[in-house]
């Protein structure tokens, strides 16, 4: 946001160093740790160290400070920079806060819901995420991939990319066969009632249990799989009907979570193309068909690549009975995506960490087969959600917290809390607040965490509406709105409408707030580059916290007319930035709560 000044100063520093034979290291700019003022800084340790390496006898820290002091004199009269200081080897440049505050606030109010967005990159990116299995329960374990993938899509789009949101439900596989078997055997003819997904999950869990108790039944399963593979009309019809029940359940779930998709792929559709890919791999000698010896079709990747140390290992790409595996289908799907969208710059898979080897194998095999698209494929992995005591969420073990239950509980709790805090809310307001707060409380802790870190789900944390959580940020947004409402909206500032004027000594809390708002666009870029919603979750909280400090320290509505006008614009800018950041997380910013 302050590129111009930065450029001028960099040029001056470079000129000075060149003229004095100082081997300037690359300049990196960072915000100054907050001390009531606002600015940016760079250090000269690298430069001093470079001198030392060249044989000059210096104590690095001391020399860095010397250089900083010399440079300081060169840049003391840059317009817009109020003060320059050299401290501990750092050169600190403090903004003319009035000028910059005006600039930041005006930018936000001008760009509105586009504030923080990046310029169009011209790149189309596909993000595949969620991948629920039909015929199974949708539980907290699935929540993370769905929420994370959705946030990544929102962030990449905002950062300037064209995003294709892809879902890839697992609608065929051993689990589905198991379900169909259980249904035919114990629930034939039954129809799902209200909680479809829940009922589907129960049927599956029962089938899984029966088979575990009596392994002899597995023969029946294999027979059923064979009937499917030969497309026995009766089985296909049953599969189509019951699959639709699940998909309907998913649609309801996604609507409740405020998540949408542009395209659906189904692994059942990739079975045949996948087998064709495998056949070709065998023909070309990349895959080895061991079926004659009772084995499967495999790709000895390390051997094919001539590696002596095991790295990519061996991948099974087709079962010995000729039925398709996920790897079979993923080979075809990867190519399928590029046929549908030939201009994809990236094809990203948001899938949990356990599939890491699987995806490196799939992408490597495609690369070996000469498909250049493979290099555009990447796996963004995330850790699992576990239950307290490190219990893995499993529909088979019955250790599940169903998403329906979670959503219902969160909403109910949020509703009760909202009613308690603000009894004046109407029924309709309560309704929307409950949804926004309940959902936000659910999403935020998942997103405000490194993807590589495990999330332990427990009800207490999930439903804690205090502290560093979505409701805190939403509340800041509500308070902004409340101030603007009380003040009757933004004031007309005369002929210079659209220009904020901060002609008074700014309170440190105001400067802190402005500082945080100005960092938002940079965080968007970082979050997009690293597929890291955490960066947005953090800055959103930082802005909310800064606002809470401002709210406490700086009266707005009752302030002097000039101060009031300026602060109202700052409040409006804060509200906008909070809304933008929450939107990137898929969290609603309510007007009241």
- In the region spanning residues 401 to 430, those forming contacts with RNA, defined by CB under 7 A, are 414, 417-418, 421-422
Q: Shortest gap between Cβ of 550 and RNA (angstroms)?
A: 7
CB 389 within 8 A of CB 183: no
Q: Which is nearer to RNA, 80 or 522 (CB)?
A: 522
Q: Shortest gap between Cβ of 343 and RNA (angstroms)?
A: 29
Q: Shortest gap between Cβ of 217 and RNA (angstroms)?
A: 15
Q: Which is nearer to RNA, 211 or 592 (CB)?
A: 592
Residue 470 makes CB contacts below 8 A (sequence gap 6+) with 437, 440, 441, 443, 444, 582, 585, 587
Q: Which is nearer to RNA, 403 or 476 (CB)?
A: 476
Strands 385-387 and 455-456: parallel
- The verdict on 399 binding RNA (CB under 7 A) reads no
- The verdict on 326 binding RNA (CB under 7 A) reads yes
Q: Which is nearer to RNA, 163 or 208 (CB)?
A: 208
Gap between the Cα atoms of 50 and 372, Å rounded: 42
Q: Shortest gap between Cβ of 342 and RNA (angstroms)?
A: 27
Out of 120, 174, 237, 499, the residue judged to bind RNA by CB under 7 A: 174
Gap between the Cα atoms of 168 and 180, Å rounded: 20
Q: Which stretch binds RNA (CB under 7 A): 246-254, 256-264, 402-410, 518-526?
A: 518-526
Cβ neighbour number for residue 507 with a 10 Å cutoff: 16
The SS3 call for residue 562 is: helix
- The verdict on 538 binding RNA (CB under 7 A) reads yes
Centroid of chain to Cα 469: 16
Gap between the Cα atoms of 323 and 333, Å rounded: 16
Tokens linked to 6 = 């930065």
Q: Which stretch binds RNA (CB under 7 A): 142-150, 170-178, 237-245, 363-371?
A: 170-178
Helix axes 533-553, 470-486, angle to 10 degrees: 40
- The verdict on 452 binding RNA (CB under 7 A) reads yes
End-to-end C-alpha distance for the chain, whole angstroms: 33
Gap between the Cα atoms of 379 and 128, Å rounded: 10
Q: Which is nearer to RNA, 194 or 558 (CB)?
A: 558
Gap between the Cα atoms of 414 and 464, Å rounded: 10
Out of 75, 127, 348, 478, the residue judged to bind RNA by CB under 7 A: 478
Gap between the Cα atoms of 266 and 170, Å rounded: 6
Q: Which is nearer to RNA, 74 or 456 (CB)?
A: 456
Q: Shortest gap between Cβ of 484 and RNA (angstroms)?
A: 8
Gap between the Cα atoms of 78 and 39, Å rounded: 13
Q: Shortest gap between Cβ of 83 and RNA (angstroms)?
A: 13
- The verdict on 220 binding RNA (CB under 7 A) reads no
Subset of 222-261 contacting RNA (CB under 7 A): none
Q: Shortest gap between Cβ of 189 and RNA (angstroms)?
A: 26
Per-residue string for binding with RNA, 363-392, x by CB under 7 A? Answer: --------------------x------x-x
The DSSP secondary-structure symbol of 370 reads T
Q: Shortest gap between Cβ of 553 and RNA (angstroms)?
A: 7
Subset of 541-570 contacting RNA (CB under 7 A): 541, 545, 548-549, 551-552, 554-558
Subset of 89-108 contacting RNA (CB under 7 A): 89-90, 92
Out of 468, 507, 508, 583, the residue judged to bind RNA by CB under 7 A: 468
Q: Which is nearer to RNA, 142 or 154 (CB)?
A: 142
Tokens linked to 289 = 């068909």
Subset of 290-319 contacting RNA (CB under 7 A): 294-296, 298, 300, 309-310, 313-316, 319
Out of 223, 398, 486, 499, the residue judged to bind RNA by CB under 7 A: 486
- The verdict on 501 binding RNA (CB under 7 A) reads no
- The verdict on 593 binding RNA (CB under 7 A) reads yes
Gap between the Cα atoms of 330 and 563, Å rounded: 61
Gap between the Cα atoms of 336 and 80, Å rounded: 54
The SS3 call for residue 294 is: coil
Q: Which is nearer to RNA, 98 or 314 (CB)?
A: 314
Residues touching RNA, count (CB under 7 A): 102
CB 206 within 8 A of CB 182: yes
Residues constituting the chain: 593
Scanning the structure block, which residue is given the tokens 């689990």?
175
Out of 482, 491, 493, 507, the residue judged to bind RNA by CB under 7 A: 482
| Residue 162 backbone phi and psi in degrees, to 5 | -95, 120
Out of 69, 162, 232, 464, the residue judged to bind RNA by CB under 7 A: 464
Beta partners for residue 288, in sequence order:
298
CB 138 within 8 A of CB 510: no
Out of 56, 114, 284, 354, the residue judged to bind RNA by CB under 7 A: 354
């Amino acid at each position: 946001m302050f590129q111009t000044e930065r450029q001028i100063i960099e040029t001056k520093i470079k000129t000075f160093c060149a003229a004095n034979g100082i081997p300037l290291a690359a300049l990196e700019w960072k915000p100054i740790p907050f001390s009531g003022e606002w600015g940016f800084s760079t250090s000269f340790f690298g430069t001093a160290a470079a001198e030392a390496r060249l044989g000059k006898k210096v104590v690095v820290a001391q020399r860095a400070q010397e250089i900083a002091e010399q440079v300081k004199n060169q840049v003391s009269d840059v317009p817009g920079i109020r003060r320059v200081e050299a401290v501990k080897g750092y050169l600190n440049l403090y903004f003319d806060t009035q000028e910059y505050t005006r600039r930041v606030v005006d930018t936000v109010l001008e760009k509105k819901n586009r504030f923080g967005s990046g310029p169009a990159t011209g790149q189309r990116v596909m993000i595949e995420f969620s991948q629920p299995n039909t015929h199974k329960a949708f539980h907290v374990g699935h929540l993370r991939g769905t929420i994370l993938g959705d946030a990544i899509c929102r962030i990449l789009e905002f950062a300037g990319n064209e995003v294709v949101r892809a879902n890839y439900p697992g609608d065929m596989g051993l689990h589905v066969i198991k379900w169909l078997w259980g249904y035919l055997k114990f629930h034939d003819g039954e129809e799902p009632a209200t909680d479809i997904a829940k009922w589907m999950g129960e049927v599956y869990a029962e089938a899984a249990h029966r088979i575990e108790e009596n392994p002899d039944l597995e023969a029946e399963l294999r027979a059923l799989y064979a009937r499917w593979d030969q497309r026995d009309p009766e089985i296909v019809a049953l599969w189509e009907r019951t699959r639709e029940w699940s998909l309907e359940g998913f649609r309801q779930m996604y609507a409740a979570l405020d998540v949408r998709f542009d395209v659906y792929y189904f692994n059942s559709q990739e079975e045949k193309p996948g087998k064709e890919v495998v056949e070709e791999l065998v023909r070309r000698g990349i895959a080895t068909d061991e079926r004659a010896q009772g084995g499967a079709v495999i790709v000895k990747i390390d051997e094919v690549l001539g590696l002596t140390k095991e790295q990519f290992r061996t991948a099974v790409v087709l079962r010995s009975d000729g039925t398709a595996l996920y790897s079979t289908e993923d080979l075809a799907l990867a190519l399928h995506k590029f046929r549908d969208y030939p201009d994809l710059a990236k094809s990203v898979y948001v899938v949990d960490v356990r599939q890491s080897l699987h995806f490196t194998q799939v992408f490597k095999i495609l690369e070996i087969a000469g498909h250049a698209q493979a290099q555009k494929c990447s796996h963004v992995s995330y850790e699992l959600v576990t239950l307290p005591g490190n219990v893995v969420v499993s529909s088979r073990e019955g250790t599940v917290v169903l998403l329906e239950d979670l959503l219902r509980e969160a909403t109910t709790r949020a509703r009760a809390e909202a009613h308690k805090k603000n009894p004046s809310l109407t029924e309709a307001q309560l309704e929307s607040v409950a949804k926004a707060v309940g959902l936000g409380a659910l999403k935020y802790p998942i997103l405000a965490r490194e993807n590589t870190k495990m999330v332990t789900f427990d009800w207490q944390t999930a439903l804690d509406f205090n502290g560093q959580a979505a409701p805190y940020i939403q509340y800041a947004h509500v308070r902004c709105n409340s101030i603007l409402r009380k003040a009757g909206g933004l004031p007309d500032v005369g002929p210079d409408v659209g220009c904020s004027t901060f002609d008074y000594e700014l309170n440190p809390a105001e400067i802190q707030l402005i500082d945080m708002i100005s960092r938002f666009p940079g965080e968007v870029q970082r979050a997009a580059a690293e597929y890291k919603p955490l960066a947005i979750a953090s800055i959103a909280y930082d802005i909310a916290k800064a606002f809470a400090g401002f709210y406490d320290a700086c009266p707005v509505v009752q302030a002097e007319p000039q101060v009031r006008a300026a602060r109202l614009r700052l409040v409006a800018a804060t509200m906008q930035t909070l809304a933008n950041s929450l939107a990137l997380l898929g969290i609603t910013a309510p007007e009241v709560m």
